[in-house]
Structure 1
C-alpha cells in the first residue's frame, strides 16, 4: 500500500513539475523573443533614422546648389539683359553632372516658361503659364512676395512623374525706374526618386517605404494634411525636421508593411525554445525513469539480499547498520534482537562477546573484541570464525569507495570438517609414505651393496682362489676352468641386473622422501659456496655410460668457471634428473648440457633430440605424478616426480625451471640460478 501511494504521489509530482517546466520555458522564450524584437526594432529605427538624416542633408545640399545655379543664371540675365541659351545650357549641364537628380531648369519671364534646359527633354513644358497651374502658383506667389526662393511640395510634373520644384524669383534692375523690377522665376525641377535615395534605402519606392515630406508653418503645423498622412498609421514613424531655404520641413518614414512584429532571429529562438522544452522534457522523463528504476532496483536488491542463503550486512561510514538480512540474524541468535538499522558494529561485537560461550578457554573477551574491530575497520582476506558447537562461518568483509563496509557470512561448517578430514588423511598418507620409504630404503641399500659384490664376482678372493686351484701346475681340468669362468660371468650379469634395479628403486624411494619433505615444507638446503661448472662436468661424466648404452652422445660445454652459493647435492640432483629424463625419452641423436653465466644469474640448458612435447602439454610436465605419454612411462618407468621435485628445488634456490619444446624436434630444459655471493647468503640467513 505504501509503495502504491508513493508511486501515485511521484506521478502527480512529475505532472506538476512538467507543467511548471513548460510554463517556465514558455515565459523565458517569450521574454527572449520580445527583447530580441525590441532590440531589432530599435536597431532598425536607428538605421532608418540615420538614412532619413542623410536624405535631409542631401535635400538641403541639392536645393542649395540649385539656388547657386539660379543666382548664376540671374547674374547672367542681369549682365546680358537677355537669355544666353548657350551659357545657361552649360551651367545647367554642370549642375546635372554634379546633381543627377535635377530634371530641368525652366526660365519663365513674366511667369510663362520660354526656355527649359536641357531643351531636348523638356520641350513639352515650353509655353506653360504658371497662373494656369494652381498647384504651383501659390509657391510662385510666395517667392514673389518674399523675394526668396521657395520649394514647392511634391507635385505632379508636366514631364510626368512627381518631384520637387524650387521657384527662384528674379528681380532685374530697371535703370529708368531706378529700382529692381520683377522679371519672372527660375524653376529648378528635381526628381523625387533620386532626391529621396539613401545608401541601402530608397524612400521614394512606395513598395518599401511610406514617406511623407511637408513644409511646416511658423506655428509648427504641417501646411498640407493629405489623407495618407503618416500620423494615422498604427506604427509610429521616424520623423525629422530640417530647414530648406528658410522653411522648416518635416520628413516622416516607416516601412510600407509596417515595423516588423518579430526579428529575423525570432523563428530560431522559438525553435530553440521548443527544442529546449523537448530536451528538458526528455531529461525529466529519463530522470523519472531512472528514479523508478532505482526504486525498483532498491526493492529488488532488498528482496534479493533477504532471499540469499548467506548472511549479509552493510554498515555506513559511521559503522552503523544499514541493511541486514534474516540469514545474518539466524547466524547470530545471541544478538538477533540487537541487529537493527542504526546499531553500531562496536555494540554488536561487545554484546556478542558477552552473550556467547565459544570464547571461554581461549583469549580474553577484550582482546577478541579489539581484534575483531581491527579486522572490521581494516578488512583484508576472508577469515573463519567459530560460532560454537564446531560450526564455522567464512567472513568476507570489504570497504566501498564511499567508506561503507559490506560483510558476507557463509556457513562453511561442512567444508571445514571436510578440510580437516582431508588434512588428516593427507598427514596419514604422508606419514605412511615416509615410513614406507624409510623401511624400503634400508633393505634396498643392502640389496644394492650385495648385488655390487656379485657384479664384480671375478674380483672376489674366493673366486680368484678357485681359478688358481683350477689352473695350478697345469694339472687342472680345462673344462672345469671354462665352466667356472662361465659361471662367474653369469653371476656378474645377474648381480649387475640386481644392482641396477635396486638402484632404480632406491632413486624412486628417494624421490618419494624428497616429495614428502617438499609437500610438508620440511626440505632444507645446505647452502655453501659451490663451483657449478664442476658439478655439471661431473654429472655429465657419470651419465655418459648410460647415454652410450642407448647409442646417444652426451656432451657438455660451459663459458668458464661459475661459482655461487647453493646446495651442491641438490643442484647435482636437478641436473641429474634433467639429463636422465633426456636419456630416457631420446631414442637417437644427442644430448647437450650447456652453461652460460653473467653477473646476475647462471643458466644450465639440457637440449635433446627426443620426441618433443606439444605446447598444450608443456604445463603438465612439472606436475607431480604426471608424464605426457603413458606408453613412454610404462616403457621407461618412474613415478613422475623428478621434474616436480627439480622445480621445487630450483625455487628454493631462488631460481626457476623452464621448458622450450617442439613436437618431433626435441626439448630444452633450462635451470636458472641466481649468482649470490657468500656474504649475501649470510645476510639473508
Structure 2
C-alpha cells in the first residue's frame, strides 16, 4: 500500500509538472502569437502611412506633369503665333515656371529633332546640338510622341546635366498653309529632376537616406517597361506599390523605408514582458493551488495587480451587472467619478453618474434614451465603438461576454488617433476651400477674356473696323488687292476671336463645375425649389442644345406624355439635363439622342438615350466618380474635368432622387433621372 501511495504521489507530481509545462508552453505560444500579430499590425500601419504618402506623391507627380504640359502648350502657342523661336519670351516663361516648380531643370526645343535651344541657356548649353536620332535611348520616346501626337513621359533616364530625371516629350505640329495641313515641326522636351519631383515635407521620397523609391512605366500588359529598379530584386517584405495613369500611360510607384520595414513593434517589449509575467503568475497559481487553499486570495490579489499594470482601462461585471474588478487606468479615464466606482455598483448606476459629468444629452428624455441605448450595447456586446468622455478625450470601448455570464470591457485611449482623423478631415475641407477660392479667382479673368474675345469675334461690328470700311468706300483709289487683304484680315481676327471665346467659355464651364463641386463637398449648395412643368423644362433643354447636336450631324428629339408637375430647383434641374444631354452629344458619333419624360410609381423619370459608344459593365459605377472619365489620359478627345456626372448625381440626391445608368458597349447608353412626386427634404 505504501508503495502504491508513493506511486500515486509521484504520478500526481509528474502529471502536475506535465500540466504546468503544457499550460506554460501554451501561454508562451499565445504570447509569441500576440507579439507576432502586434508586429504585423505595426508593419501594416507603417505600410499604410507610406502608401498614403505614396498616393499623395503620385498625385503631385501627375500635377507636375500636367503643369509641364501647359508650359509646353504655351511654348507651342508662341511658336505658332511668331512663326519661329522667340528666345526672350520663352526664356521668361521658363524662368517663371522654374520659380514655381523647382523640379524643372530645362526646356529644350528641337526643330527637326535637333536641339537648337535649351532654357535656361547657360546651365544647359551642353545639350544644344543634340540629335535625337543619334541617341536610340531617347529617340524611342520621341518617336512615340510623334506617332501618338500627344505628350509622352520618358524616365528615369541619365541626364546630360547629370543625375537622374524624367523628360516630357511634347510633339509640335504647326499649320502649313501651302499643304493645308499641320506639319511636324519638332519636339519640346521638358526635363524634371527625379529627386525634386517626388519630394515632400511629410514623406520625402527623394531622400535616399529615408526611402527607397522608384517611378517606372508599365507596358500595356502590366509588365515593367524599364529595368534597373532598386527594389526589383528586394527579397524581404515587399515595397508599397501604387499604379496610376499619366498622359495615357500606366505608371507604377514603389517605396519603402531605406532601412527596410521595422522588425519589431514598439509595444513588443511590453507584450513580451506581459507574457512572461503571465507565465510567472500561472506558475505561482499552480504552486499556490498545490500548497494551500489560502493562497488563492493572494493569487487573486496578484491578478488584480497584473490588471493594474495594463496600459488600457479594464473593467468587469458579474452576471447581475455588478462591478467586480476595475483597474487604475480605467479610474484615471473617469477621474471625476473614480471615488464612486466601487465593487457592487451596477452598470446603470455608473451610467447615470457618467451622465451627470460627461458629454451626454442634458434633456431628461434624451438622457434616458442614451442610457437605454448604452445598456443595450452592454447587454449585447458587438463591435467596438468610440465614446467621448469630455475635453476632446476619446476612448475605444470593447466589451465581451464570458461563458459564465460576466461582462468585461477594455477601454483604450484613442484621442491621438481621433484628433489625427479630425485634422485629416480639416485638411480635406481646406483643400475644398482652396479649390473654391481658386475657382472664384479664375472666373473673373476668364469672364473678361470671354467678353473681349466676343468683341474680336464680331470684328465687323467694331467702330474701328467700320471706320476702315468707311474710309475704303470713300476712297475710290483703293485697289482690289488691298480691299481683299483688309477683308481677309477682318475674317482672320474674327476667327481667332471665336477660337478664344470658345476656349474661354469652355474654361468658364470647368470653373463653374469646380465651384459647384466645392459647394456640394462643403454642404453649402442650397436648392430653390418650386412647382415646375417637367414637360416644359425638358422641351427647353432640347431647344437649347439642338444646335450642339446638329454640329455633329446628330438628331436630338424629345418625347413626353404632356404636362407633369415636379417639385424641383429649375436651374439645377436644367443643369442635370444639360450635363446628361451634352455627355450624350460628346460620346455619340452617329445616330440620335432622345430626351423623354415619363411617370413610374411615385417618380417622374427623365431618360436621356443615345446611340453612342456605350460604357462597359466594369465602368458603370466609375462614371459617377469625381474627376473620372473612362478615358483617363490627360489628352482626351472631349476634354473636361470629369465632374459633370458627379455633380449631377449629387444634385439628384439633394432633390431626394437618384441618377441611374444602363449601357451596353457599342450600342449606346440611357441615363435616368428619378425625382420623387411631392415635397422633397432639404436636410442634406
- What range is the shorter-chain TM-score in? 0.3 to 0.5
Structure scoring higher RCO (CA < 8 A, sep ≥ 6) equals 2
TM-score, reference length from structure 1: 0.48
Structure of higher CA gyration radius: 1
TM-score, reference length from structure 2: 0.48
